[in-house]
Chain A
Amino acid sequence: MANEVCLRTLHLDRPWLLSSYESEGGYEALRKILTEKISQETIIETVKTSGLRGRGGAGFPTGLKWSFINRSAPGEKYIVCNSDEGEPGTFKDRDILRYNPHALIEGMIIAGYAIGGTAGYNYIRGEFWEPYERFEAALQEARDAGLLGENILGSGFSFDIHAHLGGGAYVCGEETALLESIEGKKGQPRFKPPFPAMFGLYGRPTIINNTESLASIPDIIRRGGEWFRDLGVENSGGSKLFSISGNINNPGVFEIPMGTPFSELLEMAGGMKDGYKLKAVIPGGSSAPVIPGEQMMELTMDYDSIASAGSMLGSGAVIVIDDRQCMVKLLDRISYFYYEESCGQCTPCREGTGWMHRVIHRIENGQGRPEDMDLLDDVTQRIMGRTICALGDAAAMPVAAFIKHYREEFQYHIDHKKCMVGGR
């Protein structure tokens, strides 16, 4: 049941080639749309039926997002693919770009067709040089085969895609900061509303989807919305890529149906490394609240199950933590990341991320103060829900969750000036 959608070419030799993709049904969906002149409404309805939710982390229903665009508005409309993949622990989109770039290209063309646009941009994370080159090569293959560019397959429909390599800022994974970055400006999120569907890239109506979401589109069209939906479970249609890392034997990317128990995923990843005990799991990238290990073992990998434990499925980046790890040290590192990556635009995030990190850092280094726990509680509350974009929440949520579940470790650090685990 694995590798049904985005990674379905993975078993082939050189799976990234157009021939490999076409041997697995690639571009059939596009050909069908263009020859049968399937209506935009039908495509959007199919995507809605599939239950596909945004794979970048927010989980917003993709079909619904597409329906927000005023397709009859005059002028250009854009499809933007978010391949910035900055969330620590996430490395799935990189594998799509490396091993199945044509699925993304076909998905973007279909999306462009569905909203009446003629141009797409793929914003690729700055560090992804190799995937960037492979994606560019795939674009050229598609153009040469008449699948991309002017008058695709003689249908009269034209659509082209431009790859854009980012500059290496986490915040540019935020969709409006990404648009600013493409426009050549400082990567800072825009205030919303207006939303990109109204005022997006260069002020035009724009749809921004994650790489995995767009790469899932061709199979949804080819095999039907119901087929995709039924791969998964209620409210979490389809299969999903999980990037699993941490203290496990076989870290990597696994495409499995939504609703697969975490325990099975852990088993696929080779189980706990060196037989240590599972202590905790960060289920959806570093901004997702941490879940204690025993609780996690009861959960399934879908939106509702993870949410029921107070966390989120996010981008599907599963970070497995064993019982040798100090949660204070871990949070010190996570909070440092958000402190460094805040764009600096709005006050709570610019000032608050640095403050949180400094407090956690001093606790980790044996200089914590008795009032620090309350201070951290308070500062996280003053950041959450107060910022222009979700980075503030992303920075505050892990802090709140670590303290909620592992308060005694922090208190031990403050009281004893040393670590509870390992006795450092």
Chain B
Amino acid sequence: MSDQQTITIEVDGKKLEATPGQMLIEVTDAAGITVPRFCYHKKLSVAANCRMCLVEVENAPKPLPACATPVADGMKAWTCSPLARQAQKGTMEFLLINHPLDCPICDQGGECELQDVAMGFGGGLSRFVEGKRVVKSDDIGPLIATDMTRCIHCTRCVRFGDEIAGVREMGATGRGEHMKIGVYVEHTVGSELSGNIIDLCPVGALTSKPFRYRARAWELTTHDSIAAHDGVGSNIHVHVRNHQVMRVVPRENEAVNETWLSDRDRFSYQALYSEDRLEKPLLRKNGKLVEAEWQEALLEAAGILKDADKARLGALVSPSATLEEMHLARKLLAGLGSDNIDYRLRQGDFRAADPAVPWLGQTLSAVERNQAVLLIGSWLRKDQPLLNHRVRKAALAGGRVMTINPVDYDFNFDLADKRICAPSGMVAELAGLARALGADTAGVSADASDAHQRMADALKSAEQGLVLLGSVAQAHTDFTLLRRLAANIAEAAGLDLGFTGEGANSTGAAMLGLGSGLSCGAMVTQGLDACLLLNLEPEADMANPAAAMAMLDNAKVVALSTHLGSGLEAVADVVLPVASFLETAGSFVNMQGDMQSFNGAARPVGEARPAWKVLRVLGNLADVEGFDQESVMDVREELQAAMGEAQPDNRLPEGDAPAPVLGSSDLQRIGGTPIYNTDMLVRRAQALQHTPDAWKAGLRVNPALAQALGLEDGDSVVLRQAEAEITLPLAVDERVPGGCVWMPTGVPGSELLGEGFGAVSLEKA
């Protein structure tokens, strides 16, 4: 801000510029002056409890904590004067007297803030000769290992839960030396951002459970990369030993993920080394997939693609595939005469054309400043954890966040308003809100209720706001109609319209122009003779798994995949093992339109190869022109030229909105995909699958419906959708509206079912 005055302070004899209200430690940090600290963290509130950052300040009778001392014009401070040093060393000694000397077996050893600071401020010998404190550790779940004897009570983890995760899971109990950080009643820490307390913990009290005892910090090499499981595009450091990924930690980028990382992005790497990771090409021989040599498999694959009728040739690619992979796949198909390539695998409705390049509609940092946010069909907290964090900041700053959802999804902030209804009712809800705003209701007759009027007023009074369509809306059978209504609402209220997208590279895929031929839905309904699959499992990643599997069963299928699931095993004719995003160079465009490129961090497993290289060879073998790229840079230059001036653009093409097709049947299904079922890597990340957020096999109905059907929690039930039927355990869940069965896609049991929304029936098994 230009009107902000600048003041001058003097630290260690150096003149520094500062702004009023800053704490001394912020100014010294910016100037590169080291002040030791444990409890201070720039993203958390000031606690001033560790007393490590004590410095001498002119005219102060005693040393002051730099983290909690506001600067004043002309202030003089000394960070390493005898008084400051004596205070810092005193604190260091106190911190060490009860800290165990177990560095050789501590996972934090080598990257421990206490160890580092002790090198500078600790004594060589301890004067404390009594027994040290021992603290019992709670089991707080599959992600975080606890050794609370090592805790130095900085309370960063406690403040994180309170201030960032929005759930008070950790806390301090007991007094004095008996004070203990833990979960009050032993339970699993369930936040989708919980892994961040591993990074925040300055000692080895909270460490990564999956990483435990796997490697020492000094054995690891660090590689920059981009996380691939949501549209935020979190920046990450990948830590590698012997060409294997050992763990993933956040890399600071204020404009994207700040200093945080979602648990999904942090722990998904475990899937790289799961049992069903593909290490060799597979070919179908006598009806069975058997291992083959690359040469043979590539020739077979190229043959399948080349020989197909070009009108009935298509490709389905993961929305989290890299730009390079998408570009070469599209180029390969184009060379063979087909433009049928799509990435919108879970989209439930293609009746109206998509915007040119769907995106968030705002920058991530702008989301924090919204005065109103309307979430439509979105469990944002679990779907896009760090986008949700930005929305939470807006909510805490007084912004009104409202939802129209088919499930009463839980959020970590207070919603100003929520409309929970069966999926078939969402159209009417949006139309009612549109009516309240005086907007076009897209041909849907609707009345505005008081609640609609209240929400409309909140949207209208916001100077900046966002109407956001989430992944549940995108999977909805009437998605294009919901989208039209949302656009009308956004326009009438003068707010931005946004989409969360399905994967890490949805926006990039649209910028490349994927989806311009037959849509994913059309390919499934019209059928293909030959299909190229890129890193997806048709039984879990498609809007209608049963239909997709049936279609692929009748087609020749070439699959490039990191893993072999039951779907590929059933339908693929050639399976080519490819590198995961951590093992290849590539680029993603995140939901705010940033293109972020990265290099491979680890060596692909077995004979797996980067998919862009496999596609390049396939192009050559299929006799398509222009597949002579020698490096990933060549591919990147080419795709950037192909993207041209493409920019994120959420304007809806002109055209009439389709009429609603999802009827209000007696019993309807609610789909959507839970947080840890979104892609083939996440589904195989063992630790994540043991968290409370992992979808437990089964379906959910509300207590009233369960009672009406004479069912109880845990009962085995038969769910029928069209011709498909499955038997699953039932869970009673108050969040589900009446007349609905919450049975997501991508979860065990959903493979045999059709699309996520529509009529179903339920009875006791």
Measured CB to CB, the residues of A under 8 A from B are 169, 171, 186, 188, 191, 193, 339-355, 358, 371, 375, 381-382, 385-388
Contact = CB atoms under 8 A, between A and B. Distances in A.
13 contacts: A171-B175, A191-B65, A339-B176, A343-B175, A344-B179, A345-B179, A348-B91, A350-B94, A353-B177, A358-B130, A382-B87, A382-B94, A387-B51
Interface in B34-92: 46-52, 54, 61-63, 65, 68, 70, 86-87, 90-91
B172 interface: yes
A193 B86 CA distance: 24
Interface of B: 46-52, 54, 61-63, 65, 68, 70, 86-87, 90-91, 93-95, 97-98, 127-128, 130, 152-153, 171-179
A69 B153 CA distance: 34
A347 B172 contact: no
A126 to B, nearest CB: 14
A348 B172 CA distance: 17
B90 A348 contact: yes
Contacts of B171: 186
Contacts of B48: 191, 346, 388
B175 to A, nearest CB: 5
B128 A343 contact: no
B46 A350 contact: no
Contacts of A188: 172
A344 B172 contact: yes
A84 to B, nearest CB: 15
Question: Which 9 pairs between the two chains have the least Cβ-Cβ distance?
Answer: A344-B179, A382-B90, A385-B62, A342-B176, A351-B94, A191-B48, A354-B177, A346-B49, A344-B176
Contacts of B51: 346-348, 386-387
Contacts of A349: 176
B90 A386 contact: yes
Nearest to A343: B175
A348 B65 CA distance: 13
B61 A385 contact: yes
A345 B175 CA distance: 8
| Residue among A343, A352, A354, A358 with the highest chain B CB neighbour number at 10 A | A354
Contacts of B94: 347-348, 350-352, 355, 382
B153 A350 contact: yes
A385 B63 contact: yes
A387 B176 CA distance: 13
Contacts of B127: 371, 375
B100 to A, nearest CB: 14
A341 B174 CA distance: 10
A377 B559 CA distance: 75
B176 A350 contact: yes
| Residue among A342, A344, A352, A381 with the highest chain B CB neighbour number at 10 A | A344
Contacts of B47: 191
Given A346-B49, A350-B153, A350-B177, A386 B91 contact: yes
Given A340-B176, A351-B97, A354-B176, 9 more contacts: A191-B65, A193-B70, A344-B174, A344-B176, A347-B152, A351-B94, A382-B91, A386-B51, A386-B91
Contact of A382 (B49, B50, B68, B93): B93
Contacts of A339: 176-177
B418 to A, nearest CB: 28
B46 A191 contact: yes
Nearest to A352: B94
Contacts of B49: 191, 345-347, 388
A309 B94 CA distance: 31
Nearest to B178: A344
Nearest to A392: B51
Contacts of A171: 175
A360 B87 CA distance: 23
A371 B127 CA distance: 10
A353 B98 CA distance: 12
A165 to B, nearest CB: 18
A355 B97 CA distance: 9
A277 to B, nearest CB: 36
Contacts of A169: 175
B153 A344 contact: yes
A243 B403 CA distance: 62
A243 to B, nearest CB: 25
Contacts of B175: 169, 171, 340-344
B107 to A, nearest CB: 23
| Residue among A345, A351, A352 with the highest chain B CB neighbour number at 10 A | A351
B95 A347 contact: yes
Contacts of B174: 344
A13 B667 CA distance: 78
